[in-house]
Amino acid sequence: FFEENHFKYIIVGGGVAAGYAAREFTRQGLQPGELAIISKEGVAPYERPALSKSYLFPNEATRLPSFHVCVGSGGERLLPEWYKKKGIELILGTEIVKADLASKTITSASGKIFRYQTLIIATGSEAIKLKDFGVQGADAKSIFYLREISDADKLVEAIEAKQKGKAVVIGGGYIGLEVGAAMRINGFDVSMVYPEPWCMNRLFSPDIASFYEEYYSNKGIKLIKGTVAVGFEAGPNGEVKTVKLKNGQVLQADIVVVGVGGRPLTTLFKGQVEEEKGGIKTDGLFRTSVPDVYAVGDVATFPMKMYKDMRRVEHVDHARKSAEQAVKAITASEDGKSIEEYDYLPFFYSRYFDLSWCFYGDNVGEPVFFKDTVNATSTKPRFGTYWIHNGKVVGAFLEGGTAEENTGIAKIARLQPEKKKEELEKLGMLYARLA
C-alpha cells in the first residue's frame, strides 16, 4: 500500500505553480513515476487569470482545454495526456487534509496516505469570505466568489440564467475591476462597491485610478466608494435580492460577485513550518524551514533581493517563476550543486474592456503621471506613471503600451536609474521607448 503511494516528489496543489513546476522537472530529466501532483480541483493545471476575463465573456468565451498551462507564457499547452506521457501522476479531485512533515506523509480526505522524499507546497490562496467579517445574509444564493474553475462555472450559469439583470460587485481590487467589466460586457446593470477613496488602492495612484473610474462610469458602471456591504436580503427562493451598504444605501441585486482579497492556504502546515507575513517563509531557493520541503507561488514569503525585504506575491508571473526556481534548486541540490538566489522583479498586469496595463517594480515614493505625446493620434488610451523613490525610478506603469514599451519599463524598474521628476514628465512614454 505504501509503495503504491510513494513518490520521489509530490506537489500539493494543482494550480499555476504546479503546472510550471511539472514542465521544469521534465526539462531537468524527470523519470516516469517520480512525480505526483495532488489537486483538489478536477482538472489539470490551467492559467487561472482567464477565469475573471475571457472565461466570463458572452461570445467566444475561453474554455478548457485551451488555457491549460503553459500557454499563458507562450509555452506548449500541457494537456492531461502530456502528464501521462511523462509518467507524472495527476491525482485530481483529491483534497489533502493532513500533512505530517516529520514523517514525510500527507493524507487525503478519503484517508489515502502519500509519502514523499521532497514536497512542494503550491496550495495557492482562497477567497476571503464576507461571512468572515460577520456580514449578515452573506450565504444567500447567487452571491459568488471567484477562485477556481468550479466557481467560474457557477457564475457563468448565473450570468446565463439572469440575463441583463442587476449585478453588484463588492471590492475594487483585481477581481472587482475585471469581473465588473465582464458583467457589463454581459449586459448587466453593474454597481461596484469598495471602501477606499479610489479603486485598486494598493497599486494605482489617484491619477491612474481616476482614468479607470471615469472609463467605467462612461461604460455605465456605477461606482460607490468609501463604503462596504453590511448585509444581504434574500427572496423566498433564497436568492439574493438586495445589498445593504454601511452608508445606508440599498442596492437591488440579481447577482453579487465578491472580491475582497485572498488568503494563502497554509493551514495544513501550521506549527510545522516557519511563517512570515502570512505566508510560508522560504529562502531564495524556495526552501522552507523544514528540510526537503519547498513552498512556491501565492503561499511563499520569500526574500525579494532587489528590495532587501521579505514579500509574498499573489500574481501569476511569480507563481510560474518561483515554481521553476524551486525545481531547479531541487535538482541542483541532488547533484551536489547550487543555483543563484531568486532575484524577482515584480510584474503585474490586468485587462478590462479594450484596456490593458502592465506594471513593473515597486510602487513606493512619488508617482509621476504622464500622458502619451509620442503617439497622440492613437485611438487607444495611452498613459503611464513612474515612481521616484530616493531619486531613483523604482516602478513603472503603462496603459496601452506596446510590447517594446512594456519591455522598456521592465528594464527601467530593474535598473532603477536616477531621474528628476521634471525630466520624467517631459519624456513620458518616450522614456519607455528609449530604455
Contacts of 157 (CB under 8 A, 6+ apart): none
CA 123 – CA 97 distance, rounded (Å): 12
By CB under 6 A, name the one of 9, 10, 16, 325 that touches ligand FDA. Answer: 16
194 binds, among ligand NAD, ligand FDA, none (CB under 5 to 8 A by kind): ligand NAD
Asked if 52 interacts with ligand FDA (CB under 6 A), we say: yes
- For ligand NAD, the binding residues in 104-133 under the rule CB under 6 A are 125, 133
Place of cell 499573489: 314
Under the criterion CB under 6 A, does residue 13 sit at the interface with ligand FDA?
yes
Q: Is 72 in the site for ligand FDA (CB under 6 A)?
A: no
By DSSP bridging, strand 113-121 and strand 105-108 are antiparallel
* Binding flag, residue 13, ligand NAD (CB under 6 A): no
Window contacting ligand NAD (CB under 6 A); options: 39-47, 97-105, 257-265, 395-403: 257-265
Rounded least distance, CB 72 to ligand FDA, Å: 9
Choose between 54 and 289: whose C-beta lies nearer to ligand FDA: 54
Strands 275-276 and 96-100: unpaired
CA distance 114 to 94: 12
* The entry of ligand FDA, ligand NAD, none that residue 40 binds, CB within 5 to 8 Å by partner kind: ligand FDA
**Containing H/E element for 215?**
helix 206-218
Q: Which three cell numbers stand for residue 75?
A: 509555452
Query: Is residue 369 a contact residue for ligand NAD (CB under 6 A)?
Result: no
Give the DSSP H/E element, type plus range, for residue 166: strand 166-170
Using CA atoms, how far apart are residues 364 and 397, in angstroms rounded to an integer? 12
Q: What residues numbered 17-36 form the site for ligand FDA, per CB under 6 A?
A: 17-18
Under rule CB under 6 A, residue 17 binds ligand NAD:
no
CB of 282 to ligand NAD, least distance (A): 18
172 binds, among ligand FDA, ligand NAD, none (CB under 5 to 8 A by kind): ligand NAD
Q: Is 315 in the site for ligand NAD (CB under 6 A)?
A: yes
CA 428 to chain centre: 29
| Residue 170 lies near ligand FDA (rule: CB under 6 A) | no
Among positions 9, 10, 12, 209, the unique one binding ligand FDA when judged by CB under 6 A: 12
Q: How far is the CB of 341 from ligand NAD (least distance, A)?
A: 24
Say how far apart CA 412 and CA 415 lie, in whole Å: 5
Q: CA-to-CA distance for 416 and 400, rounded, in angstroms? A: 22
- In the bound state with ligand FDA, the residue whose beta carbon lies nearer, of 112 and 219, is 112
Q: Which of residues 98-157 bind ligand FDA (CB under 6 A)?
A: 122-125, 146-148
195 binds, among ligand NAD, ligand FDA, none (CB under 5 to 8 A by kind): ligand NAD
What is the three-class DSSP state of 382?
coil
- Binding of ligand FDA by 96 (CB under 6 A): yes
Residue 6 β-bridge partners: 115
Q: Which does 261 bind (CB under 5 to 8 A by kind): ligand NAD, ligand FDA, none?
A: ligand NAD
Q: Which is nearer to ligand FDA, 211 or 349 (CB)?
A: 349
Task: For CA atoms 197, 201, 206, 212, give the dihedral sign.
Answer: negative
Terminal Cα distance for the chain, rounded = 59
Cβ atoms 232, 243 nearer than 8 A: yes
Task: Please report whether residue 68 would count as binding ligand FDA according to CB under 6 A.
Answer: no
Give the total of residues touching ligand FDA (CB under 6 A).
37
Which of 125, 164, 162 minimizes the C-alpha distance to 143? 162
Paired with 281 in beta bridges are: 301
Contact between 342 and ligand FDA per CB under 6 A: no
Type and span of the H or E element at 412: helix 403-415
Site for ligand NAD in 228-247 (CB under 6 A): 228-229
Residue 315 lies near ligand FDA (rule: CB under 6 A)? yes
Distance CA 113, CA 96 (A): 9
Compute the distance between CA of residue 245 and CA of residue 113 in angstroms, rounded to an integer: 47
Query: With CB cut-offs between 5 and 8 Å by kind, which of ligand FDA, ligand NAD, none does residue 324 bind?
Result: none
Residue 169 vs 245, nearer CB to ligand FDA: 169
Grid look-up 500541457 returns: 78
Q: Which of residues 217-246 bind ligand FDA (CB under 6 A)?
A: none
Residue recorded with cell 500527507: 106
CB 170 within 8 A of CB 258: yes
Overall residue count recorded for the chain in this entry: 435
Q: Which residues bind ligand FDA (CB under 6 A)?
A: 12-18, 38-41, 48-49, 51-52, 95-96, 122-125, 146-148, 175, 265, 268, 297-298, 314-317, 319, 348-350
Q: Which residues bind ligand NAD (CB under 6 A)?
A: 52, 125, 133, 170-176, 178, 193-196, 201, 228-229, 259-262, 314-315, 348, 350
